Amino acid sequence: MTTTFPDKTLLLDDTASLRTAARFVREHDSAALLPLLLPGLDGPDLQALAGQCRFAHAGLLLFPSDTESLRSQLADCGLAVDTQAQPSVVVRERLARRHRRDPAELDVQILRPRVLGCDGEVRAVEVFALTVPPHSGLEPIAAYERTRQHEAHLAFEVEHPETLALRGLCAILVRHGARPDGGGYNPHEDGTVLYFTLPARAACDYRRLELYARGDHRDTLAAHLDHDSGRDARQPAETLLHLLTGAWTTQALTAFARLGLPEAMDTRTACRTEDLARLTGTDPRSLAVLLRYLVMLGAVTRVPVPVPVPAPAHEQRMEQVEQEGFRLTELGALLRADTPGSMRPLALMYGGPFYRSFSGLDHAVRTGQPAFDRIFGENHFDHFARDPELASLFDRSMAASSRMFQPLPAHPVIAAAAQAPESATVVDIAGGNGELLGLLLAAHPRLRGVLLERPHAVEAARRRLDAAGCGARCDYRAGDFADVPSGGDVYVLSRVLHDWDDDRCREILRHCARAMPPHADLLVVERLLPVDGSPSLATAWDLHMLCNVGGRERHADHYARLFAESGLHLIGHSPLPLDAHVLHARRAPAPDPVARRR
């Protein structure tokens, strides 16, 4: 009994998220749900929670472009489109703190369309809606929040929220592993919310729980917030221990993929450990240890499996006992080799060569030289080129992050090229196995493509694009950055510049500028370091680039300087999934000779 967000690490589709939340509310009831959220909850504590709280709603944050768009999403999910909206206070304040914005900029509304539960009770989907018009300054917030789902939660309403009872319920939640995680009072509806982070072993992919109490309970709220703010200060050793064991997470997921476990499991039915061990050639006891750890990571979930056993001989019947079983989650299914957009190559790469190189991170920090070169005796491009299997794994691992490309076919530059009177050409420089170029050509049948890559990658791209039905519209060039073909209409550099230092970047960009006709556009896909130091995948990848290739992630202003020094001009940039951005540049106008003489 667990429900996941579709592709929850990379979620882009608000409607899919809303539909999943509505389905969850319809399928679960209070008594069955509480033990899933708080494993080990039973006896008087379970009776107290189940007796005083009822499952009220599943909550999520959406980013419609306008009111009509939100109404359409509600209708698509079978929810009432005329549900009354009220201003949010709690979520608006949380967003403002997280993104360092003025709360007045964030007009967050709450809607609670009703849903009938499996037990006949009327519940709701709590929708927080922040309107994000296209190309507005709120798009980075939407991109960040969609991938992290900070506001997704399950809510239980306290039936009789007297002060002592409310504090007692909070104590039960904490005793069973839930951690205070903020809250607030909303005067618009006279209600108090207390948020908790669920324990990692919870058999549910929602990670937050809300207690909702009608009325003003700010004394209880203050104690709850004090507990929240003091938690990390009181437990530094536990926090550090979790951080130090992060390497175990990488290797557990990599072993999960290498052993073929995701392919042997299913997201709908559970398997006994003994059966999985037989299918994968593993030791049953050791496999159970791994699977229990993967439960904490959300890759699998533990589900009891009924097994028939003979009753006493004189009864002539079979009985059933429950044995430990495991079921694949949608997160774990991303590691299946046969799933679209599989992330298995990333697991094998991060748990393999790049894992080894991080053992030399102190060398990279001391010297400024890549640890990969020291560990393997050569740079990673040469090392991978020597081993066709490793080179193929690297190209496939790059393609595994291709979800960041999904919005690119709708980028104004691509859309304009696709609508040009004459067939336009997209030149993908160092385009790997053709994942991005294939996406653009498939979305726009009038576009043509040129892919520039190393010889072995060109052949892989040719096979991929032929299989996708785009090969007839694509030309292939084997070469280096000095071989950028001229005459294209749109040039693309995706995750290339972060591999190199500034001097090499300027050289690459100058090759592009020389090849580009005056009307051409350049799109550069990279992660941008946040100017305010907020959490970002770019910060993590900056360390990865230092350790493995000697490159770096950069701020937008840094890229603007590199463009300017290479004969290009940055027009602007917009967010993509996975904390990436697409930067748009054109050739800088030639200097006016008259003005120069002055």
Q: What is the DSSP string of 448-501?
A: EEEEEE-HHHHHHHHHHHHHTT-GGGEEEEE--GGGPPSS-SEEEEES-GGGS-
- 498 part of the active site: yes
- What is d(CA 118, CA 150) in angstroms, rounded to the nearest whole number? 27
**Torsion sign over Cα 208, 214, 215, 217:** negative
Contact 341, 517 (CB under 8 A): no
The tens place of each residue's pLDDT in the chain, 598 residues long, gives: 333 333 333 334 788 889 889 998 998 888 888 988 998 888 888 888 888 999 999 999 999 988 899 999 999 899 998 888 888 888 888 898 888 888 888 989 999 999 998 878 899 999 999 998 887 778 888 888 887 788 899 999 998 888 878 888 988 998 888 999 888 888 878 889 999 998 877 877 788 999 999 988 887 888 888 765 544 444 577 678 878 888 999 999 999 999 999 999 988 888 999 999 999 999 999 999 999 999 888 788 888 777 665 656 556 655 556 678 898 988 888 899 988 878 999 999 999 999 999 999 999 999 999 999 999 999 888 898 888 888 888 888 887 777 788 889 999 999 999 999 999 999 999 998 898 999 999 999 999 999 999 887 898 899 989 998 999 999 999 999 999 999 999 999 999 999 999 999 999 999 999 999 999 999 999 999 988 776 778 898 999 999 999 999 999 999 999 999 999 999 999 988 888 899 999 999 876 655 544 4
Confidence (pLDDT) at 4: 35
The pTM assigned to this predicted structure is 0.61
Confidence (pLDDT) at 60: 93
What lies within 8 Å, CB to CB, of 275 at 6+ separation is none
Helix (H, G, I), strand (E, B) or coil at 186: strand
Both tokens assigned to 203? 């058999």
Confidence (pLDDT) at 285: 94
Tallying the residues shown for the chain, one arrives at: 598
Confidence (pLDDT) at 147: 75
CA 474 to chain centre: 31
337: closest CA among 249, 265, 433?
Answer: 265
Contact 131, 66 (CB under 8 A): yes
Confidence (pLDDT) at 314: 59
Q: Are strands 108-111 and 122-130 parallel, antiparallel or unpaired?
A: antiparallel
Tell me the HSE value of 357 on the side-chain side, using a 13 A CA sphere: 27
Both tokens assigned to 275? 């059966």
State the DSSP H helix or E strand holding residue 429, giving kind and residue range, or none if neither. Answer: strand 425-429
CB count in 10 Å sphere of residue 176: 21
Of 380, 498, 573, 581, the active-site residue reads: 498
Domains and CATH numbers, the chain: 7-233 (3.10.180.10), 247-309+320-333 (1.10.10.10), 352-397 (no CATH), 402-593 (3.40.50.150)
Q: Which residue has the tokens 């559970």?
A: 270
Confidence (pLDDT) at 139: 81
Both tokens assigned to 299? 């890759």
- What is d(CA 41, CA 64) in angstroms, rounded to the nearest whole number? 38
Contact 481, 511 (CB under 8 A): yes
